[in-house]
Amino acid sequence: MIKRYKTKQIFVGDVAIGGDAPISVQSMTYSDTKDVEATVEQINRLHFAGCDIVRVAVPDMEDALALKEIKSRISLPLVADIHFNYKLALEAAKVVDCIRINPGNIGEKSRVKDIVKACTQRGIPIRIGVNSGSLEKQFENKYGQSAEGMVASAEYNIKFLEDLGFDQIKISLKASDVQRTVDAYRMLRPKNDYPFHLGVTEAGTIFHATVKSSIGLGALLLDGIGDTMRISITGELEEEIKVGKAILKDSGVAKDGLNIISCPTCGRIEADLVSAVSEIEKRTAHIKAPLDVSVMGCVVNAIGEAKSADVAIAYGKGQGLVMVKGEVVAKLNEKELVDRFVQEVESAALKEENK
Ligand code: SF4
């Protein structure tokens, strides 16, 4: 059983982050933000894919000025990503739901003060987004690009905001190195109760980003650390959401949809299990009820797995069993098994939803 760190709850638009709120999944558009049509189109794609919060880059004033129209055409909470120029944050703060600043490159603290003032007036939070590759000089000189340096930067900036009476804060500590990312979050977690935005940055193509994020974010989630997250993938927008949701589900943090238990390649398999599981995955993708289902290739482990599964199939030679809560409900030819299994899953999902 995962015990989550109890963090302070903040809101990005209508999405709660921290406290007992579900862990949200975020992503970021790659359009030129000032191209309103393209940006709205990407945000809508993310929304459709199940994204909870979206962030857009704001590299110049034209981008900042475009945010008003973007905001009026979307319903996802909007975060403005600001580097270097604090004036962009002041403009963005007039319309967005959260400002992300990289304290290492925003410059003099008087500028951060102005950003805090603008966010206080609108009642919106700030993400202190520390990146190991762009730490403030004093921390990089002392600690290099280490987890210690990231934590020192985060603590310094938290204190700066707190001294201004501002506590609507969330924090990220991202590095492209998995170990350093995990170390930094683990080090900082006991020192405050602000919600954490998790991510391994610049994680690469979908294959490597999935592996790195599963290791890094998975380790943290199992420690009870993390309130919102983004998976960085050099790839398409929808993939970030798909991988993020899968990490939450497969780490056991989120109960959402089917948990499919199925056999690996094995010399005892007595059916075309690869096709069966892939068909089951497609036909049950719409199901949101948290069910455990097992699809087993022979009787060796099938009965054992079926006992703890809501619905199960045990394949034999040319035929097999469908089981519900460990009880056999049908013995059918191989061709009929998937249909019956999907029927039983849908009916179990309906019961779960009506509970
Ligand atoms: S249940 Fe049978 S097919 Fe599946 S992994 Fe075990 S021995 Fe292999």
Which residues, listed in sequence order, are joined to residue 101 by a DSSP beta bridge? 82, 128
Q: What is the pLDDT of residue 300?
A: 84
Helices 273-283 + 334-353 axis angle, to 10: 30
Q: What is the pLDDT of residue 85?
A: 93
Q: What is the pLDDT of residue 195?
A: 98
Q: What is the pLDDT of residue 278?
A: 96
CB proximity list for 116: less than 8 A, separation 6 or greater: 126, 161, 164, 166
pTM for this entry: 0.90
pLDDT per 10-residue tile (average), the chain, 355 residues: 93 97 97 98 96 97 98 98 94 97 82 94 96 91 95 94 95 95 98 97 92 97 98 94 95 89 91 94 93 91 86 93 95 96 96 87
Q: Could you tell me where the DSSP H helices lie in 123-172? A: 137-143, 147-163
Q: What is the pLDDT of residue 91?
A: 97
CATH numbers and ranges of domains, the chain: 10-250 (3.20.20.20), 258-353 (3.30.413.10)
- Residue 316 CA, ligand 1 centroid: distance in Å: 11
Q: Give the span between the Cα atoms of 319 and 350, in whole angstroms.
A: 27
Q: What is the pLDDT of residue 354?
A: 86
**Three-state secondary structure of 201-255:** CCCCCHHHHHHHHHHHHHHHHHCCCCCEEECCCCCCHHHHHHHHHHHHHHCCCCC
> How do beta strands 15-17 and 311-315 pair?
unpaired
Q: Is the CB of 302 under 6 A from ligand 1?
A: yes
Find how far residue 319's CA is from the centre of its chain. 40
- Residue 305 CA, ligand 1 centroid: distance in Å: 11
Q: Is the CB of 266 under 6 A from ligand 1?
A: yes
Q: Is the CB of 316 under 6 A from ligand 1?
A: no
Q: Is the CB of 300 under 6 A from ligand 1?
A: yes
- Residue 301 CA, ligand 1 centroid: distance in Å: 6
